[in-house]
């Protein structure tokens, strides 16, 4: 009898044995349907011919071995095994989580067969002067022009009526339907459209990376904003594609991908590009996953979840904005896609490029100690660095949060017909409303957080749990009818600017105004077409967007982040402000950045004004070393939650006692309530563990987790977060 060992999506750190008479070694990595308790479940085969852990008579047979779909390769499994072990997460759960949702069910839809491409006549028409008036047909032609083909799904995404337009284009002979390519055949003949002549530092970086193709090498590409990091990625990608390799590009957020995607597709017009991010529908994600796994897609552009996508011919990994916290998952399987990118590169012997203007200190430290090769792009390609200046303010004297010198600067830019960006990292009208008679504050009853005033909707909203309620007519505590909004959010700044500059066209960009699917793309077009004078926005605007007409950036309320309990707060703030400042003056005019602050002497602002990341990083690293914080130590967090805080803390107390029995070499802190202790009605607490040796910490966590798992059922739910980024 042949037995298979299977990973299932169940919350225990264990694999399960089943019998499968016809299974062979070729079935490792394949999906199976197995009986589990009273139900059946999908699992992934991890081993074939395992000796069952229980007596043979009790082993049940698999219900079905699903051979229709390609399997995880041994390379894919190796990465997932590493990740499950390192992040202390059950392997079965990790395996199932790495599958697109549709493959977590037995009957996955078959791959769609037909794809649509321009014919020669279609190419002539699409590249010539506009020959079609119907807007949907025109958009379809434009979409087809830059791509080898569109799948049926992609056609549907062009417009709701794209199907009819497609049929019309097929009827007139401009578009033809073909069978989807089975494999790499189509992608291999890579054409590359003209790239700009590289600067000498870009060229040097590209040569260093290219020299490592086919071997492991980790690079930190540290380049100031506007230094042309993207060209280095594209250059390295071109070389990898020419070697017949696939390229994986990881980016932080969905908002970033359309721009980068357009750029990548324009550079490699003959190449199939697959996108993978959580904003895609399940169906599209499955299709893209399949094209990556089959080798048909040569470039995969995705967010953190793309780190696990099977790529049989992978040759290069790029992680753009590697410092971004969205690469770390903070719930469930707490992996860091940036760190796994380095692991994957090392397992597969290929180069990985981590790019940023403000690298994570962990990464920077690795570059300084020689684990990563440091490549620097110290200058902007075609612009001078922005001039950053501080506006010292006394908060009490501000006019709705705006200082007179900033208002004057905005007026000057309006005069010169240049755009201004006002950055304030808080959406809504005001972060809280208050009763000045009794001190009542609008708090969320489910969270330890304030309810944010959304004036237009006349609502108070919790940005943590989503709780929403009307604005009270009077103070719920004392009946005082005069409740006052305290502080500013984007809506309030937008309103204040509209009062000061009634003639200006103001656009607010935050999660509230960009909720609709296409909203952000439309706004970007308006900004680029200079239909907007002043942008008011949150950190959505900080990331990699190129705004060629932006002359001035004003930064409000950054002080709030200067003094935070989290030791990473200044690192984050520096990165955020550098990104925001970098939006100014990218094209030909030097940009101006004005920061309103009550603490103009703070070293973070001094460093920011002098534009020296290296100096700031050195200061922070010195502090970290003295305080024994990462990267000089390694951490893990045991999180617990319960309906009562005492229960969560009691669980952590007992966990600490167990930990102390297990090891003398790791340091166990006292359990404390989480930064937001109450969230959506659950009380949360945490226990920090740290150790200078990663290996020792790993061994401890393994043993500790096993002990915690056998403990008597607790009222608290718990989870481990290895290398936590939020304390």
484 binds Zn ion (CB under 5 A): no
382 binds ligand ADP (CB under 6 A): yes
Q: In the bound complex, what is the minimum distance in angstroms from residue 120's beta carbon to ligand ADP?
A: 31
User: How far apart, in whole angstroms, are the C-alpha atoms of residue 390 and residue 597?
Assistant: 7
C-alpha torsion 336→341→346→349, nearest 10: 160
Give the helix ranges, DSSP H, for 296-429.
337-348, 361-368, 404-415
HSE (CB half, 13 Å, CA atoms) of 147? 22
Q: Is 676 in the site for Zn ion (CB under 5 A)?
A: no
**Could you say whether residue 645 binds Zn ion (CB under 5 A)?**
no
User: Interface with Zn ion by CB under 5 A: which range of 248-256, 439-447, 507-515, 533-541?
Assistant: 439-447
- In the list Zn ion, ligand ADP, none, the entry touching 196 (Cβ below 5 to 8 angstroms by class) is ligand ADP
Taken in order 95, 99, 104, 108, the sign of the CA dihedral is negative
Query: Rounded to the nearest whole angstrom, what is the least distance from the CB of residue 607 to ligand ADP in the complex?
Result: 19
Sign of dihedral through CA atoms 79, 288, 243, 225? negative
Rounded distance between C-alpha atoms, residue 86 and residue 101, angstroms: 24
671 is a site residue for ligand ADP (CB under 6 A): no
Q: How far apart (Å, rounded) are the C-alpha atoms in residues 474 and 327?
A: 44
**DSSP letter, residue 326:** G
CB of 260 to ligand ADP, least distance (A): 9
**Rg, the chain, Cα only:** 27
CA–CA dist 236, 241 (Å, integer): 9
* 589 in contact with ligand ADP (CB under 6 A): no
Nearest distance from residue 547's CB to ligand ADP, in Å? 11
Say whether residue 463 binds Zn ion (CB under 5 A).
no
Applying CB under 6 A, which part among 63-71, 218-226, 468-476, 719-727 lies near ligand ADP? 218-226
Q: How far is the CB of 452 from Zn ion (least distance, A)?
A: 10
Which member of 190, 201, 202, 570 binds ligand ADP (CB under 6 A)?
A: 202
**Cβ closest to ligand ADP, residue 217 vs residue 385:** 385
Q: Is 610 left (phi over 0), alpha (psi -120 to 50) or beta?
A: alpha
Does 184 bind Zn ion (CB under 5 A)? Our answer is no
Residue 439 interacting partner from ligand ADP, Zn ion, none (CB closer than 5 to 8 Å by kind): none
Going from the C-alpha of 704 to that of each of 15, 96, 708, the distances in angstroms are 19, 24, 6
Q: How many amino acids of this chain bind ligand ADP (CB under 6 A)?
A: 16
Partner in contact with 291, chosen from ligand ADP, Zn ion, none, beta carbon below 5 to 8 Å by kind: none
Give the number of residues in contact with Zn ion, rule: CB under 5 A: 15
* Nearer of residues 290 and 427 to Zn ion, judged by Cβ: 427
Q: Check binding of 635 to ligand ADP (CB under 6 A).
A: no
What separation in angstroms does the CA of 93 have from each of 25, 276, 296, 302, 637?
22, 20, 28, 21, 20
Rounded least distance, CB 446 to Zn ion, Å: 4
Of 149, 170, 168, 150, whose CA–CA distance to 158 is shortest? Answer: 150
Q: How far is the CB of 560 from Zn ion (least distance, A)?
A: 19
The one among 387, 437, 457, 589 contacting Zn ion by CB under 5 A:
437
The b/e string for 226-239 (b: 16+ C-beta within 10 A; e otherwise) is: bbbbbbbbbbbbbb
CA-to-CA distance for 688 and 707, rounded, in angstroms?
Answer: 17
> Considering only residues 41-80, where is the footprint of ligand ADP by CB under 6 A?
none
**Least distance (Å) from ligand ADP to the CB of residue 644?**
48
Please give the structure tokens belonging to residue 425: 């990292």
31 is a contact residue toward ligand ADP (CB under 6 A): no
* 381 scored as a contact of ligand ADP (CB under 6 A): yes
Q: How many other β-carbons are positioned within 10 Å of the β-carbon of residue 94?
A: 24
User: By C-beta, is 224 or 666 nearer to ligand ADP?
Assistant: 224
CA angle 421, 422, 424 (to 5 degrees): 135
Among 243, 446, 505, 717, binds Zn ion (CB under 5 A): 446
Contact criterion met (CB below 8 Å) for 355 and 221: yes
Query: What is the smallest separation between the CB atom of 227 and ligand ADP, expressed in angstroms?
Result: 4
Angle of helix 120-127 versus helix 135-145 axis, rounded to 10: 110
By CB under 5 A, is residue 352 in contact with Zn ion? no
Residue 528 beta carbon to ligand ADP: minimum distance, rounded to whole angstroms: 12
Residues 6+ apart with CB under 8 A from 39: none
Cα 423 to Cα 554: distance, rounded to the nearest angstrom: 6
Chain positions 542 to 561 lying near ligand ADP, rule: CB under 6 A, are: 546
CB of 468 to Zn ion, least distance (A): 9
Tell me how far apart the alpha carbons of residues 280 and 291 are, in angstroms, rounded to a whole number: 15
CA distance 570 to 277: 29
Is residue 688 at the binding interface for ligand ADP, with CB under 6 A as the rule?
no
In angstroms, what is the minimal distance from the CB of 470 to ligand ADP? 44
Please provide the distance, in angstroms rounded to a whole number, between the alpha carbons at the two ends of the chain. 50
| Residue 290 binding: pick among ligand ADP, Zn ion, none (C-beta 5-8 Å cut-off by kind) | none
Work out how close the CB of 586 gets to ligand ADP at its nearest, in angstroms, rounded to a whole number.
Answer: 6
Q: Which of 12, 121, 262, 478 binds Zn ion (CB under 5 A)?
A: 478
Least distance between Zn ion and beta carbon 250 (Å): 31
- For residue 338, how far is the Cα from the chain centroid? 10
Residues in the chain: 727
Nearest to 591 by CA among 547, 558, 536, 539: 547
C-alpha 278/C-alpha 703 separation (Å) is: 34
* Tokens describing residue 665: 């070499």
Q: How far is the CB of 429 from Zn ion (least distance, A)?
A: 18
CA distance 263 to 195: 11
Name residues whose C-beta falls within 8 Å of residue 171's C-beta, 6 or more positions apart in sequence: none
For residue 381, the partner it binds in Zn ion, ligand ADP, none, with Cβ less than 5 to 8 A by kind, is: ligand ADP
Options 191-199, 399-407, 418-426, 621-629: segment touching ligand ADP (CB under 6 A): 191-199
The entry of Zn ion, ligand ADP, none that residue 465 binds, CB within 5 to 8 Å by partner kind:
Zn ion
Could you tell me the smallest distance in angstroms from the CB atom of residue 600 to ligand ADP?
Answer: 27
Which one, of 9, 32, 28, lies nearest residue 95 by Cα? Answer: 9
Residue 690 interacting partner from Zn ion, ligand ADP, none (CB closer than 5 to 8 Å by kind): none
Out of 78, 163, 283, 467, the only residue in the binding site for Zn ion (CB under 5 A) is: 467
Question: Given the rule CB under 6 A, which of 174-182, 193-201, 411-419, 600-608 is the region that contacts ligand ADP?
Answer: 193-201
Question: Which range touches Zn ion (CB under 5 A), out of 102-110, 430-438, 543-551, 705-713?
Answer: 430-438
What are the tokens at 656?
A: 């600490």
- The option from ligand ADP, Zn ion, none interacting with 230 (CB < 5 to 8 A, set by class) reads ligand ADP
Instruction: Name which of residues 220 to 259 contact ligand ADP (CB under 6 A).
Output: 223, 225-231
Burial of 486 (0-12, 13-18, 19+ CB in 10 A): middle
The entry of ligand ADP, Zn ion, none near residue 223 (CB within 5 to 8 angstroms by kind) is: ligand ADP
Residue 55 tokens, joined: 């007596």
With contacts defined by CB under 6 A, name the span among 65-73, 194-202, 559-567, 715-723 that binds ligand ADP. Answer: 194-202
433 binds Zn ion (CB under 5 A): no
Nearest-angstrom CA–CA distance, 515 and 523 = 12
User: What helix, strand, coil percent values describe the chain, rounded to 5?
Assistant: 35, 25, 40
| Residue 348 in contact with Zn ion, rule: CB under 5 A | no
Q: Which residues of this chain interact with ligand ADP, rule CB under 6 A?
A: 196-199, 202, 223, 225-231, 381-382, 546
Q: Which residues of this chain interact with Zn ion, rule CB under 5 A?
A: 435, 437-438, 440, 444, 446-447, 462, 464-465, 467, 475, 477-478, 480
């Amino acid at each position: 009898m042949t037995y298979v060992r299977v990973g299932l999506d169940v919350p225990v750190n264990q694999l399960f044995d089943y019998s499968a008479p016809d299974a062979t070694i070729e079935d490792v990595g394949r999906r199976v349907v197995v009986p589990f308790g009273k139900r059946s479940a999908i699992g992934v085969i991890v081993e074939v011919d395992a000796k069952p852990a229980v007596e043979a008579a009790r082993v049940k047979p698999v219900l079905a071995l699903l051979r229709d779909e390609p399997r995880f390769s041994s390379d894919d499994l190796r990465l997932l095994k590493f990740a499950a072990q390192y992040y202390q997460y059950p392997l079965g759960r990790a395996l199932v989580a790495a599958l697109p949702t549709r493959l977590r069910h037995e009957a996955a839809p078959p791959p769609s067969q037909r794809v649509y491409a321009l014919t020669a006549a279609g190419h002539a028409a699409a590249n010539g002067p506009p020959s079609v008036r119907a807007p949907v047909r025109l958009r379809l032609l434009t979409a087809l022009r830059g791509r080898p083909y569109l799948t049926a799904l992609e056609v549907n995404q062009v417009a709701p009526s794209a199907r009819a337009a497609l049929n019309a284009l097929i009827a007139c002979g401009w578009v033809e339907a073909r069978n989807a390519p089975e494999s790499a055949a189509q992608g291999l003949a890579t054409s590359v459209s003209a790239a700009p002549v590289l600067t000498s530092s870009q060229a040097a970086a590209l040569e260093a990376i290219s020299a490592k193709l086919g071997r492991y090498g980790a690079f930190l590409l540290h380049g100031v904003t506007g230094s042309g990091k993207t060209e280095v990625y594209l250059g390295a990608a071109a070389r990898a594609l020419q070697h017949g390799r696939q390229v994986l590009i990881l980016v932080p957020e969905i908002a970033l991908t359309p721009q980068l995607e357009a750029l990548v597709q324009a550079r490699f017009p003959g190449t199939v590009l697959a996108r993978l991010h959580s904003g895609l529908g399940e169906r599209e994600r499955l299709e893209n996953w399949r094209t990556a796994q089959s080798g048909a897609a040569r470039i995969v552009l995705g967010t953190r979840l793309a780190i696990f996508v099977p790529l049989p011919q992978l040759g290069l990994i790029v992680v753009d904005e590697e410092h971004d916290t969205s690469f770390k998952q903070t719930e469930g399987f707490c992996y860091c896609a940036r760190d796994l990118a380095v692991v994957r590169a090392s397992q597969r012997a290929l180069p990985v490029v981590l790019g940023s203007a403000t690298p994570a200190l962990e990464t920077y430290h690795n570059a300084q100690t020689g684990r990563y090769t440091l490549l620097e792009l110290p200058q902007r390609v075609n612009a001078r660095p922005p001039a950053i200046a501080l506006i010292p303010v006394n908060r009490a004297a501000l006019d709705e949060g705006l200082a007179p010198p900033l208002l004057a600067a905005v007026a000057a830019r309006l005069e010169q017909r240049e755009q201004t960006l006002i950055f304030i990292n808080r959406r809504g009208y005001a972060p809280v409303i208050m009763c000045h008679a009794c001190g009542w504050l609008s708090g969320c009853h489910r969270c330890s957080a304030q309810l944010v005033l959304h004036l237009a909707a006349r609502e108070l909203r919790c940005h943590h749990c989503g709780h929403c309620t009307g604005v009270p007519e009077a103070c719920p505590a004392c009946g005082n009818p005069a409740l006052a909004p305290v502080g500013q959010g984007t809506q309030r700044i937008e309103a204040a600017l509209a009062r000061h500059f009634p003639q200006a066209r103001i656009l607010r960009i935050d999660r509230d105004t960009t909720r609709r699917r296409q909203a952000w793309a439309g706004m970007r077009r308006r900004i680029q077409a200079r239909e907007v004078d002043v942008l008011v926005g949150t950190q959505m605007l900080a990331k990699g967007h190129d705004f060629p007409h932006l002359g001035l950036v004003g930064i409000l309320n950054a002080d709030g982040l200067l003094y935070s309990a989290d030791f990473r707060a200044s690192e984050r703030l520096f990165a955020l402000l550098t990104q925001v400042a970098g939006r100014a003056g990218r094209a030909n005019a030097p940009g101006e950045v004005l920061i309103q602050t009550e603490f103009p002497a703070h070293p973070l602002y001094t460093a920011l004004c002098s534009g020296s990341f290296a100096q700031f990083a050195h200061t922070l690293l010195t502090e970290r070393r003295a305080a024994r914080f990462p990267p000089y130590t390694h951490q893990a967090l045991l999180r617990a939650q319960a309906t009562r805080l005492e229960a969560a803390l009691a669980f952590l107390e007992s966990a600490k006692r167990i930990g102390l029995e297990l090891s003398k070499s790791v340091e166990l802190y006292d359990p404390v309530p989480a930064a937001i202790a109450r969230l959506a009605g659950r009380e949360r607490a945490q226990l920090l563990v740290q150790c200078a040796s990663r290996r020792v910490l790993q061994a401890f966590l393994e043993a500790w987790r096993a002990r915690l798992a056998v403990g008597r059922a607790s009222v608290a739910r718990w989870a481990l977060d290895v290398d936590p980024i939020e304390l």
